[in-house]
């Protein structure tokens, strides 16, 4: 490598002696052959040089060229033209539309290499800036949803700063990272950083689904790649200023189904129970559960009396607006975006600023984000340099926990534990009686407004992202690219919780033995709490998981040698080296013993603080080569090889090779009988094989033993160490994904109908799995490199231009994509049948022979045909002692549709998506069932009922006979069934289908350009009304929440909890003006 | 560019990657002292913490709080293999003693490791009967250890304890003793030997029934027991009998410097962390969910036992207010929690009390297994319990002079042991109940509870069924009502 560079340096010097011929100025106009209209933006280049100019808005150009030179005119969608410099100096050119635009589209591939789509041997989808930002999402991955076959973007949580999970072709790694690699301007960035990119800065996103397409990234390639290229500047020579304002509102759209018929009672004691009927005859005023008597409208005591005996009474009925729904606000998002750009063929400059202000549906939660990006580029003779840098700063403020013993009870839990007759809105001022910590009605939970007012998570994130690329072209057959990129940031967060001062009255338990918060805590004072975390990394607060959270410094050096042999064989050999380092450092301190009220500084505590520090560093050195051979625009063959050395692997296992090969044949160019076919104008076959990896090993993971400080230590000066419970494995290797894919791209009727079909088959071996071990081994976990997961599937894309605008002013475009994603766990270590990714039940598992991942949990005893078996005497179901596979948690069928209908200046764009084939577990429904607030608990009016579709065993246990149960009712249709017993306790009661249809985006845009143009100052303008997540259709069984939500953005998908708020709808308007 | 490339391409590459071989976050080695302090503290936390709360409830010490929904696993005995796990913590604790033993050749540390490993294994056998022993703790060498029978493990523990005592007695002059890291005995190796000897007595006595006869399941061990019992008072070198833990100064209790601080996960003593209050006085752990049990409260009250208010907090009016296990309606007045005396955050955590040792000796003497006077030992046991609970010897004398208590019958010895173990050694009380049937604690009164007898054992933890399935399956189907520990009645 070093030698090679020296050689190229010599060439560089030699080439400086280039001789220039005499120049003359050529002017002219470029028009389109079909309609004769001028084409702006056509590149006019002197052949064999980098010298060129674009045509202006009137299609005119002027260029100084050697008299013996040749000018090349090129523009996307048109056939290039090469014409000699005319002696008269005037050259008018008309360009012909290409037979296939798909042939010509140039996309950015791995390492920033630009390639014609025609030459790619693998599936890819290019998403334009327009498609991405149609509905103005604040996180660009949301803008990709439903637009790429095989890309599944999941908004795991709709909080104030939503996180997304994005995977291509499903989950290949059981515990490893399954996020698609995100490459920004040629350099990988952390998946967390997608939220620090201004969607309006993105020129294009090229989604390459397969491992093969990303193979040059070696151990980061296995999940496919999103290649983002940011906007550069104008090429017309004129400056352009663009301003966009988007204002959107967010409202709860599908509130979980709650019951509003029964009030407060919680099940402790028997004094409120009618001894004959078993019905509850009086509500319990301080109760958080809703298993009480039916509402009757009578004025009823709520909560405990004040110390002076004052009672609060409210009608025992649900108000017109359910107070739990009324709790949520309308959230607002305002985005302001301004950009300034100019440039010409050699130089560009672009500066943008984006401001995003949000308030949440939760009172008090808010978010502000500011992003600025500067991009510039310049060409000096044989040298071309580009620079881009962005800085993002965001502030987030969200509610925190309460003052209960664990401090974890969350807001939605509090709401679900509020009987519907409780007028929550009366308790906003938490200083007032009946709203304060002492006399709030609920004995077991905090006033949700207390959590909002007095417990906050405040965080600030600063992220910098920048890269510099220099390209030296000393001769036409060689160029050398040097790129250095850095992304880093800090994340600072502080959790504060106010001191709680209980009164002696509350501590003395005015409920008469049931307990109050104060009496259960048995204290008059819960001191304030503070938790500070400072992290240097990628600017987010994530730690640990996979590649996330790390800052990254990357350097690439690539030498590209190109030559055409025998006139028809274009070859390109790239040799390169990449070195990167990732680094993360986190320091935290916390105490729950602040001694000054409302003063949150770790220095003012009694006792000592809890502190932690960790730092992790990863380094990697790799060498790669890439040889591409093209034959006459007909066939293309590419082979790549990367050799990688990674610090996370022990020295003996460190050198890993990652090869790939791909090829394509354009049959419409290759086969004479298909050439110039009017119907089938484009047909390309492609195939790829690759073998790439995933280093799923934490830094220092191969050091065999480690010790940590045991809980409690140090006691004064007494220190101690205890053995880590994880048995580290020094022999770990990267997980290897072997993938092959086949496919074809086609275009009919001059590409009016075009599409692609791809089949892929991935085998990921060496799964790195932290398996539980028998504690009798001395350790509770170890890590092994065993296990195989297979992912296969099909991806389809079909786009149709039904009507084009040039014909009658109406444009109708339909786009659709569809993916079938199969996965199967083929083997696991040590003959294990399953691996758990979460704890407790239900548990998300990888099970041999099953799709990955699946949900496993408890279920009722059922007969062979699936009917629930109930007891002949009590009518009650019983619990199956074995855990049951409840279904896969990732969708199998993913459909995305877009419609684009335009008439004159009005354009309507709709995006829908459909997912099915998966199940979800609604832990929040389980929580609401325990609370008696979910609608299902009142489905039988709290009366005895026959368990639907149940059977009774009239035979013996050994030889059962199941007969339909038509009249044996459950004896206690109230708390005894819904909050006790098998139905309540088994997981399957809360599992629903994960299927949905969503109207994901809608945008109605009015192009105002024709009116504003007259002002001369304004070049373009549009106004749009738009929305996201407008409508959702779910199967009847799911009346609870958005199936997309989950409690993790990690691999253990399929479980939503009370941490996820009810689904929301976002709608608003956008105004754009371009000067 | 050329320079950086040269760096990458040259031999620097090895350094560039290898310099990240040291984990800056966790050390890779330990010392015997660091390991000893950590492991002893964990043993105390395991024994006194929340791991054995179910036994405290079933043995009549504590009740489920009436302010909470009934816990059917506890109150209807509907627990499963996922409900209780004392397996993991004991094996991890053994692993740390093993790491200590591996970090030194000093015979004292070796002896302490053997003693404490035996202590832990005894508890494992008492909870699970057959457990991995000979194939355990081999890390990646054996990820699926087979099980040894409880009886054979017991036999080997006696050998291990013999060896430990021999190591202590045979240590060369000048052998360095642990000091501050020995948070139980401060390096007093004689006390360590007594602890080992008392543990030997307990292991032997566990295999005798209430009548003083060897459990029929292990009757073939009669000869061995005779030999082992003789060894408890070695007649050879050294001539002085080793003796047992017989005074509160000799009892096994751990105190690393417990303090009323919430930092580092809580520096309070384990009983306080399990049932008490945090630094600022707010209830933590099991405090809100457990309260005084009528069975124990009635026992102390009916015998005018002053330990009542040393164990339980008094409520309004100075009374201890308790509920029977399984009651769901609140009693009149605020139910009592454990006393401030027991929950004193700085109090040492017991591993082996003098009272327990003396009651063991009393029972062995009564049955003629060891020399000594049962009555003297019995009275001394009660006195030791009173002393440990902050009461005087005179109060103890008054107490054991009562006619119903005075005689060292099997019933009285085990009942008094039960009364003395409340609540920090609930596991041991449960063991003795299963061995002798004493005391006969009533079962839960939760409506719907159909079980009429105390559980005979807990299930193997779910992790065994998940990762060591074949070997746990070889133990057969475990029943919580009929599977017994090999020594149980």
Model pLDDT for residues B281-298, shown as the tens digit of each residue: 888 889 989 999 999 999
| Per-residue confidence (pLDDT) for residue A544, from 0 to 100 | 47
pLDDT tens readout for residues A1006-1040:
999 888 878 878 888 999 999 999 999 999 999 99
**Residue A518 to chain B, least CA–CA distance (Å):** 9
Which of A208-217, A673-682, A951-960 shows the lowest per-residue confidence on average (mean pLDDT)? A673-682
Chain centroid to CA B186: how far?
Answer: 20
pLDDT, position A751: 84
Average pLDDT across chain B, whole number: 91
Chain A residue numbers touching B18 (CB-CB < 8 A): 647, 651
Q: Per-residue pLDDT tens for A276-303?
A: 555 667 888 888 899 888 899 999 999 9
- pLDDT at site B298: 97
pLDDT of residue A547: 65
B42/A710 Cβ within 8 A: yes
Of the candidates B252, B220, B190, B213, the residue with the CA atom closest to the CA atom of residue B369: B213
The whole-number pLDDT of residue A11 equals 37
Stretch A630-652: mean pLDDT: 92
Q: What are A688's two structure tokens?
A: 């790829």
pLDDT reading at B239 higher than 50: no
Give the nearest chain B residue to A617 (CA atoms): B20
Please tell me the distance from the alpha carbon of residue A687 to that of residue A637, in angstroms, as a whole number: 10
Query: Which of A646, A775, A832 minimises the CB distance to B91?
Result: A775
Give the model's pLDDT for residue A17.
Answer: 35
Q: What 3-state class would DSSP assign to B138?
A: coil
Label residue A51 by pLDDT band (50, 70, 90).
confident
Query: pLDDT by residue (tens digit) across A736-765?
Result: 999 999 999 999 988 889 999 999 999 999
pLDDT at A543: 54
Residues A529-579 have pLDDT tens digits of: 999 999 999 888 775 455 678 999 999 999 999 999 988 899 999 999 999
Taking residues A623-640, what's their average pLDDT? Answer: 93
Is B335 close to A513, i.e. CB distance below 8 A?
A: yes
Residue A444 has pLDDT above 70, yes or no: yes
pLDDT beyond 50 at A953: yes
Q: Does residue A18 surpass a pLDDT of 70? A: no
Report the mean per-residue pLDDT for chain A: 88
> Angle of helix B2-9 relative to helix A2-15, nearest 10 degrees?
160
Query: How big is the CA angle at A677 (ends A673 and A680), to the nearest 5 degrees?
Result: 110
Chain A positions in Cβ-Cβ contact with residue B264 (cut-off 8 Å):
608, 610, 709, 711-714
- Residue range A186-210: mean pLDDT, rounded: 90
Q: B28 and A515 in contact by Cβ < 8 A?
A: no
Average pLDDT over residues B295-317: 94
CA distance A604 to A381: 63
Token representation of residue A828: 């696991």
pLDDT for position A279: 62
Residue closest to A251 by CA, chosen among A413, A355, A362? A362
In chain A, whose CA is at the least distance from the CA of B3? A2
3-state SS class at B413: helix
Say yes or no to pLDDT of A861 above 80: yes
Facing residue for A526 by CB, picked from B41, B132, B282: B282
Closest partner residue to A723 (CB to CB) among B14, B99, B265 is B99
Residue B291 and residue B329: Cα distance in Å, rounded?
Answer: 13
Q: How far is CA B368 from CA A472, A861, B212, B213, B361, in A?
A: 99, 55, 8, 11, 10
User: What does the pLDDT read at residue A724?
Assistant: 93
The answer on pLDDT for A191 being more than 50 is yes
Any idea what the Cα angle at residue A796 is, between residues A792 and A800, rounded to 5°?
Answer: 175
Beta-carbon contacts of A454 under 8 Å, excluding residues fewer than 6 positions away, are A430, A497, A498
Residue B222 has pLDDT above 80, yes or no: yes
Beta bridge partners of A531: A495, A590
* A155-174 residue pLDDT tens: 888 888 888 899 999 999 99
Question: Is the preceding peptide bond at A842 cis, omega within 30 degrees of 0?
Answer: yes
ipTM comes to 0.91
- pLDDT > 90: percent of chain A: 58
Instruction: Tell me whether residues B279 and A775 touch, CB distance under 8 A.
Output: no
Which of A182-186, A189-193, A644-648 shows the lowest mean pLDDT across its residues? A189-193
Task: Determine the residue of chain A that is closest to B322 in CA distance.
Answer: A513
Handedness of CA A817, A818, A824, A825 (dihedral sign): positive
Cβ(A154)–Cβ(A160) under 8 Å? no
What mean pLDDT do residues A895-922 have?
Answer: 93
pLDDT computed for residue B235 by the predictor: 43
Q: Which of A106-115, A360-369, B421-430 has the lowest mean pLDDT?
A: A106-115
Give the model confidence (pLDDT) of B129-156 as tens digits. 999 999 999 988 888 999 999 999 999 9
Handedness of CA A972, A976, A979, A985 (dihedral sign): negative
Residue B422 pLDDT greater than 50, yes or no: yes
Tens-digit pLDDT profile for residues A455-513: 999 999 999 999 999 999 999 899 999 999 999 999 999 999 999 999 999 988 888 77
Of the pLDDT bands very low, low, confident and very high (cuts 50, 70, 90), residue B8 is very low
Cβ of A577 and B9 within 8 Å?
yes
pLDDT tens digit sequence for B107-128:
999 999 999 999 999 999 999 9
pLDDT value, residue A42 = 83
DSSP-H helix ranges across A118-180? 129-132, 140-144
Cβ-defined contact of B264 to A724 (cutoff 8 Å): no
pLDDT at A3 over 50: no
Strand order in the sheet with A202-208: A124-128, A202-208, A225-230, A181-184, A187-189
| Cβ-defined contact of B38 to A721 (cutoff 8 Å) | yes
pLDDT at residue A15 is higher than 50: no
Instruction: Search chain B and give the residue with CA nearest A9.
Output: B2
Q: What is the pLDDT of residue A749?
A: 87
pLDDT in the model for residue B6: 46
Please, which pLDDT band fits residue A61 given cuts at 50, 70 and 90? confident
Q: Judge whether residue A142 has pLDDT over 60.
A: yes
Task: Examine the pLDDT at A911 and tell me if it is beyond 80.
Answer: yes
- CA atoms of A813 and A610, how far apart (whole Å): 60
| DSSP label at residue A987 | G
Facing residue for B467 by CB, picked from A712, A774, A881: A774
Report CA-CA distances (Å) from A371 to A245, A355, B120.
Answer: 15, 7, 59
CB within 8 Å: A719 and B264: no
The pLDDT > 70 percentage for chain A reads 94
Give the residue from A178, A176, A150, A175 showing the smallest Cα distance to A164: A178
pLDDT of residue A951: 95
| Residues B389, A75: Cα–Cα separation, whole Å | 93
With helix as H, strand as E and coil as C, how does A387-414 read? EEEEEEEEEEEEECCCCCCCCCCCHHHH
Radius of gyration of chain A (CA): 33
What are the pLDDT digits (tens) for B266-277? 999 999 999 999
Share of chain B above pLDDT 90, in %: 73
Q: DSSP E strands: which ranges in B284-409?
A: 290-292, 349-352
pLDDT digits (tens, 9 = 90+) for A709-719: 999 999 999 99
Task: Using pLDDT thresholds of 50, 70 and 90, give the confidence band for residue A35.
Answer: low
Burial of A1026 (0-12, 13-18, 19+ CB in 10 A): buried
- pLDDT beyond 50 at A6: no
DSSP category for residue A723: E
Quote the CA–CA distance of A502 and B188 in Å, as a whole number.
Answer: 48
Query: Where does the pLDDT of residue A268 fall: very low under 50, low under 70, confident under 90, or very high at 90 and above?
Result: low
Cross-chain CB nearest to B283 (options A520, A555, A830): A520
Q: Note the pLDDT of residue A772.
A: 82
Query: What pLDDT band is residue A21 in, cutting at 50, 70 and 90?
Result: very low
Name residue, tokens 């402790």: A268
């Amino acid at each position: 490598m070093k030698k090679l560079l020296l050689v190229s340096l010599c060439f560089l010097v030699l080439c400086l002696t280039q001789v220039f011929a005499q120049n003359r100025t050529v002017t002219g106009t470029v028009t389109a052959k079909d309609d004769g209209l001028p084409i702006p933006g056509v590149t006019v280049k002197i052949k064999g040089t980098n010298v060129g100019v674009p045509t202006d808005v009137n299609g005119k150009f002027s260029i100084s060229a050697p008299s013996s030179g040749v000018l090349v005119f090129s523009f996307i969608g048109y056939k290039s033209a090469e014409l000699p410099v005319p002696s008269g100096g005037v050259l008018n050119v008309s360009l012909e539309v290409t037979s296939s635009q798909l042939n010509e589209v140039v996309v950015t591939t791995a390492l920033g290499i630009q390639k014609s789509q025609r030459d790619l041997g693998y599936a890819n989808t290019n998403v334009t800036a327009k498609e991405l930002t149609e509905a103005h999402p604040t996180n660009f991955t949301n803008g990709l949803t439903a637009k790429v076959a095989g890309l599944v973007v999941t908004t795991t949580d709709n909080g104030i700063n939503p996180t997304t999970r994005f995977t291509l072709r499903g989950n290949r790694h059981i515990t490893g990272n399954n996020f698609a690699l995100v490459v920004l301007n040629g350099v990988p960035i952390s998946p967390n950083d997608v939220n620090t990119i201004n969607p309006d800065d993105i020129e294009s996103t090229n989604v390459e689904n397969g491992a093969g397409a990303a193979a040059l990234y070696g151990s980061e390639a296995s999940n496919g790649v999103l290649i983002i290229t940011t906007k550069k500047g104008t090429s017309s020579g004129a400056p352009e200023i663009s301003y966009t304002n988007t204002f959107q509102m967010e409202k709860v759209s599908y509130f979980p189904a709650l019951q509003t018929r029964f009030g407060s009672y919680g099940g402790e004691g028997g004094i409120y129970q009618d001894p004959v009927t078993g019905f509850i005859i009086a509500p319990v005023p301080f109760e958080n559960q809703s298993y009480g008597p039916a509402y009757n409208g009578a004025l009823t005591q709520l909560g405990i009396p004040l110390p002076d005996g004052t009672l609060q009474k409210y009608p025992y009925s649900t108000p017109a607006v359910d107070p739990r729904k009324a709790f949520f606000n309308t959230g607002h998002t305002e985005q302001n975006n301004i950009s300034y750009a100019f440039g010409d063929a050699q130089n560009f400059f672009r500066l943008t600023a984006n401001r995003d202000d949000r308030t949440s549906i939760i009172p008090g939660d808010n978010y502000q984000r500011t992003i600025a990006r500067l991009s510039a580029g310049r060409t000096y003779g044989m040298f071309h340099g580009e620079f881009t840098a962005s800085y993002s700063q965001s502030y987030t403020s969200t509610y925190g926990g309460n003052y209960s013993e664990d401090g974890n009870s969350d807001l939605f839990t509090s709401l679900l534990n509020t009987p519907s007759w409780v007028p929550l809105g009366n308790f906003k001022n938490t200083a007032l009686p009946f709203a304060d910590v002492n006399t709030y009605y609920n004995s077991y939970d905090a006033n949700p407004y207390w959590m909002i007012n007095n417990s906050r998570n405040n965080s600030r994130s600063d992220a910098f992202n920048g890269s510099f690329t220099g390209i030296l072209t000393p001769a036409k057959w060689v160029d050398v690219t040097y790129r250095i990129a850095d992304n880093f940031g800090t994340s600072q967060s502080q959790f504060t919780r106010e001191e709680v001062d209980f009164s002696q009255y509350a501590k003395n338990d005015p409920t008469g033995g049931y307990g109050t918060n104060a009496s259960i805590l048995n204290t008059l004072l819960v001191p304030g709490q503070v938790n500070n975390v400072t992290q240097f990394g990628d600017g987010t607060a994530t730690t640990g998981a996979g590649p996330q959270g790390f800052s990254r410094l990357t350097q690439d050096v690539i030498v590209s040698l190109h030559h055409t042999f025998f006139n028809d064989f274009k070859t390109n050999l790239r040799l390169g080296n990449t070195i990167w380092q990732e680094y993360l450092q986190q320091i935290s301190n916390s105490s729950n013993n602040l001694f000054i009220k409302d003063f949150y500084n770790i220095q003012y505590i009694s006792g000592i603080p809890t502190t932690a520090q960790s730092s992790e560093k990863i380094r990697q050195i790799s060498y790669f080569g890439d040889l591409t051979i093209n034959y006459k625009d007909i066939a293309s063959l590419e082979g790549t090889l990367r050799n990688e050395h990674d610090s996370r692997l022990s020295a003996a296992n460190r050198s890993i090779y990652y090869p790939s090969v791909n090829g394509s044949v354009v049959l419409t160019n290759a086969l004479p009988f298909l050439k110039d076919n009017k119907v089938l104008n484009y047909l390309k076959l492609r195939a790829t094989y690759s073998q790439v990896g995933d280093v799923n090993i934490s830094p220092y993971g191969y050091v065999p033993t480690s010790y940590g400080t045991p809980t409690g230590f140090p006691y004064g000066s007494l220190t101690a160490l205890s053995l880590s419970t994880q048995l580290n494995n020094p022999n770990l290797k990267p997980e290897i994904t072997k993938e092959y894919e086949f496919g074809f791209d086609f275009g009919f009727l001059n590409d009016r109908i075009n599409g692609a079909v791809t089949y892929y088959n991935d085998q990921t071996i060496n799964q790195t799995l932290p398996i539980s071990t028998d504690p009798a081994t001395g350790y509770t976990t170890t890590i092994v490199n065993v296990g195989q997961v297979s992912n296969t599937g099909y991806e389809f894309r079909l786009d149709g231009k039904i009507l084009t605008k040039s014909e009658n002013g109406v444009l109708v475009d339909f786009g659709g994509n569809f993916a079938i994603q199969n996965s199967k766990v083929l083997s696991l270590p040590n003959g294990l049948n399953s691996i758990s990714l979460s704890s407790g039940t239900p548990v998300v598992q990888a099970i041999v022979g099953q799709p990955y991942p699946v949900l496993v949990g408890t279920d009722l005893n059922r007969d062979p045909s699936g009917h629930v078996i109930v007891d002949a005497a009590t009518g009650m179901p019983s619990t199956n002692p074995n855990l049951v596979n409840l279904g896969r948690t990732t969708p199998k069928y993913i459909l995305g549709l877009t419609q684009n209908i335009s008439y004159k200046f009005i354009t309507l764009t709709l995006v829908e998506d459909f997912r099915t084939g998966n199940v979800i577990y609604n832990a929040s429904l389980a929580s609401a069932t325990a609370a008696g607030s979910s609608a299902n608990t009142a489905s039988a009016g709290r009366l005895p009922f026959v368990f639907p579709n149940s059977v009774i065993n009239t035979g013996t246990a050994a030889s059962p006979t199941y007969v339909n149960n038509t009249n044996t009712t459950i004896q206690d249709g109230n708390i005894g069934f819904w909050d006790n017993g098998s139905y309540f306790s088994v997981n399957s009661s809360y599992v629903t289908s994960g299927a949905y249809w969503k109207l994901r985006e809608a945008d109605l845009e009015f192009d105002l350009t024709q009116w504003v143009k007259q002002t001369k100052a304004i070049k373009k303008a549009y106004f749009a009304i738009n929305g996201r997540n407008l409508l959702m259709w779910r199967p009847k069984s799911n009346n609870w929440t958005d199936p997309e939500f989950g409690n993790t953005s990690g691999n253990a998908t399929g479980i939503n909890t009370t941490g996820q708020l009810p689904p929301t709808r976002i709608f608003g308007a956008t105004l754009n003006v371009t000067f | 560019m050329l320079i950086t490339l040269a760096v990458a391409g040259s031999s620097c590459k090895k350094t560039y990657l290898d310099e990240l071989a040291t984990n800056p976050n966790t050390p890779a080695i330990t010392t015997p002292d660091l390991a000893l302090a950590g492991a002893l503290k964990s043993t105390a936390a395991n024994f006194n913490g929340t791991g054995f709360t179910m036994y405290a409830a079933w043995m009549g010490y504590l009740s489920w709080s009436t302010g909470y929904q009934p816990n059917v696993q506890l109150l209807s005995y509907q627990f499963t293999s996922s409900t209780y796990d004392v397996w993991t913590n004991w094996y991890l604790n053994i692993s740390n003693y093993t790491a200590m033993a591996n970090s030194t050749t000093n015979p004292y540390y070796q002896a302490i490791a053997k003693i404490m490993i035996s202590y832990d294994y005894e508890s494992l056998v008492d909870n699970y009967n057959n457990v991995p022993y000979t194939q355990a703790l081999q890390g990646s060498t054996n990820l699926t250890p087979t099980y040894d029978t409880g009886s054979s493990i017991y036999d080997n523990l006696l050998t291990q304890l013999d060896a430990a005592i021999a190591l202590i007695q045979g240590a060369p002059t000048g052998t360095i003793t642990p000091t501050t890291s020995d948070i139980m005995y401060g390096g007093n190796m004689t006390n360590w030997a007594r602890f080992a000897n008392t543990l030997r007595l307990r292991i032997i006595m566990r295999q005798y029934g209430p009548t003083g006869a060897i459990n029929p399941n292990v009757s073939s061990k009669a000869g061995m027991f005779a030999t082992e019992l003789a060894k408890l008072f070695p007649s050879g070198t050294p001539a002085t009998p080793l003796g047992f833990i017989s005074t509160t100064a000799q009892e096994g209790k751990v105190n690393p410097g417990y303090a009323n601080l919430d930092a580092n996960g809580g520096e309070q003593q384990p009983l306080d962390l399990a049932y008490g209050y945090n630094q600022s006085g707010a209830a933590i752990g099991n405090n809100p969910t457990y309260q005084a049990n009528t069975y124990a409260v009635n026992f102390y009250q009916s015998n005018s036992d002053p330990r009542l208010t040393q164990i339980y907090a008094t409520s309004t009016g100075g009374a201890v207010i308790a509920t029977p296990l399984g009651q769901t309606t609140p009693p009149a007045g605020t139910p009592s929690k454990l006393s401030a005396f027991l929950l004193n955050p700085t109090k040492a955590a017991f591993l082996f009390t003098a009272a327990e040792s003396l009651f063991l000796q009393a029972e062995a003497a009564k049955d003629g297994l060891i020399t000594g006077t049962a009555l003297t030992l019995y009275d001394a046991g009660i006195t030791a319990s009173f002393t440990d609970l902050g009461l005087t010897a005179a109060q103890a004398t008054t107490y054991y002079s009562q006619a119903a208590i005075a005689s060292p019958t099997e019933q009285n010895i085990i009942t008094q042991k039960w009364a003395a173990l409340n609540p920090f050694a609930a596991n041991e009380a449960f063991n003795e109940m299963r061995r002798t049937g004493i005391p006969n604690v009533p079962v839960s009164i939760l409506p719907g509870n159909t079980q009429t007898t105390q559980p005979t054992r807990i299930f193997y933890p779910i992790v065994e069924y998940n990762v060591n399935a074949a070997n746990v399956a070889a133990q057969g189907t475990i029943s919580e009502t009929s599977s017994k520990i090999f020594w149980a009645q």
